[in-house]
Amino acid sequence: MRKSFTKYALAFSLGALASSPALAAERVEVYKSPTCGCCSLWVDHLKQNGFEVVTRDVADPGAYRSRFGVPADLGSCHTARVGGYTVEGHVPAQEIRRLLAERPRAAGLAVPAMPMGSPGMEGPRRDPYRVLLFDSQGRYRTWARY
């Protein structure tokens, strides 16, 4: 009897753990153009860093930037949602993990434009860029520098 109880208690505990917000936040939903190669490479970067990624190929990724409140001057080529936050552009996976761990009062993170050397934009050079934390009022500040 005790062995059976332990088995069910363990199954219940694992089920509760799997549905916890911390783990649910690991799923990233990405809105991107179906023909964008750098967006696909960024998705690969997230997967390689342990995220579960669902991609949504859409005709107008800009509509999702507006829908999720990304300031116009922070736009890039794809928009994602994770853990209640918006992630715009080629944000490194480690910064998304930090965002989810620290849970700041913000709307999300952005890497404006498409800087060379950012995840998904690897190439012969690495340009310096900033990861910006933005709020629902359109204000933003530097979260990280690369």
pLDDT at residue 11, rounded to an integer: 38
pLDDT for the residue numbered 80: 98
Q: Give me the CATH topology for the region 27-145.
A: Glutaredoxin (3.40.30)
pLDDT at position 87 is: 98
Rounded Cα gap, residues 71 and 65, in angstroms: 8
- Per the CB < 8 A criterion, the answer to whether 131 and 146 are in contact is yes
In the chain (146 residues long), the average pLDDT of successive 10-residue segments reads 38 38 70 95 97 97 96 97 98 98 98 97 96 97 98
Side-chain-side CA neighbours of residue 61 (13 Å): 22
Query: For residue 26, what pLDDT is reported?
Result: 86
What residues does each domain of the chain span?
A: 27-145
